């Protein structure tokens, strides 16, 4: 159900590697809660006048995925988030890789003390990642340009955080039914431990997982 107007504002950030299930979960979670939802793939293409479902096959870190364009995309995500907070919107979902620590820090800094912040790190096994990328490659409605080589590049450079200063952190294996995942996110977000600012908190759901990325 929609958040009550009296609730403290909340920003929930779904992040992780390509094909980790973050976008599917984030979009469904936002729909259930009738809240604002921003996806970096869509925002990036909007910034450059592209159709969200257009395929961009540039090499890693080139084209609209260059370092400069990455910075522009994440700046725009923060601009939209802060605009919503200024307009007193109570719940906002952000969806992107947020693989760099400084990208996560900027979200926390932009929120300040005016809202609660929860990061949901989404992950799955490499076998499941391959299956999802194969399905995406033939899906004409897919907005992500993620490919196997991009996954390998991200995996080589991604360091999974164990805490995020000023926010709460949930590690969530997405190899489960979507409704169960939404329930897991809700339970964590609404728990006493997930409320407020300060020390990071690490939690995991109990579904099977490949822990190769949890280093």
> What CATH number should be reported for the domain holding residue 146?
3.40.50.300
Q: Which pLDDT score, from 0 to 100, does residue 215 have?
A: 37
- Give the residue with greater pLDDT, 136 vs 200: 136
Residue 181 domain boundaries: 10-213
Is 127 domain-assigned?
yes
CA distance 140 to 64: 20
pLDDT digits (tens, 9 = 90+) for 132-191: 988 877 767 666 666 788 888 888 888 889 889 999 999 999 999 999 999 999 988 987
Quote the mean pLDDT of the chain. 81
Within-domain flag for 193: yes
Residue 168 domain-assigned (yes or no): yes
pLDDT at residue 86 tops 80: yes
Confidence (pLDDT) at 169: 92
Placement of tokens 């995020």 in the chain: 164
Domain-located, residue 2: no
Domains contained in the chain, number: 1
Pairing of strands 10-15, 116-123: parallel
Does a structural domain hold residue 21? yes
pLDDT tens digit string along 45-75?
888 888 656 565 666 554 556 788 889 999 9
Task: Evaluate whether residue 203 is within a structural domain.
Answer: yes
Asked whether residue 4 is domain-assigned, the answer is: no
Q: Is residue 5 part of a domain?
A: no
pLDDT digits (tens, 9 = 90+) for 2-17: 444 447 899 999 999 9
Tokens of 141: 């409605």
Would the pLDDT of 81 be above 60? Answer: yes
Does 121 score more than 90 pLDDT? yes
């Amino acid at each position: 159900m929609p958040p009550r107007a009296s609730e403290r504002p909340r920003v929930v950030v779904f992040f992780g590697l390509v094909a980790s299930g973050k976008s599917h979960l984030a979009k469904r979670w936002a729909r259930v809660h009738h809240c604002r939802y921003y996806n970096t793939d869509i925002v990036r293409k909007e910034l450059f006048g592209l159709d969200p479902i257009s395929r961009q096959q540039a090499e890693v870190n080139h084209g609209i995925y260059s370092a400069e364009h990455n910075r522009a995309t994440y700046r725009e995500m923060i601009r939209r988030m802060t605009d919503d907070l200024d307009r007193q919107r109570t719940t906002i979902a952000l969806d992107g890789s947020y693989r760099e620590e400084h990208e996560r820090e900027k979200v926390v800094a932009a929120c300040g003390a005016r809202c609660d912040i929860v990061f949901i790190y989404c992950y799955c096994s490499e076998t499941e990642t391959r299956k999802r990328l194969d399905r995406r490659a033939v899906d004409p409605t897919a907005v992500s340009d993620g490919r196997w080589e991009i996954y390998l590049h991200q995996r080589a450079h991604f360091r999974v955080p164990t805490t995020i200063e000023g926010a709460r952190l949930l590690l969530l294996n997405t190899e489960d039914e979507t409704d169960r995942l939404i329930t897991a996110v809700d339970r964590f977000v609404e728990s006493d431990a997930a409320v407020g600012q300060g020390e990071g908190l690490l939690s995991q759901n109990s579904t099977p997982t490949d822990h190769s990325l949890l280093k």
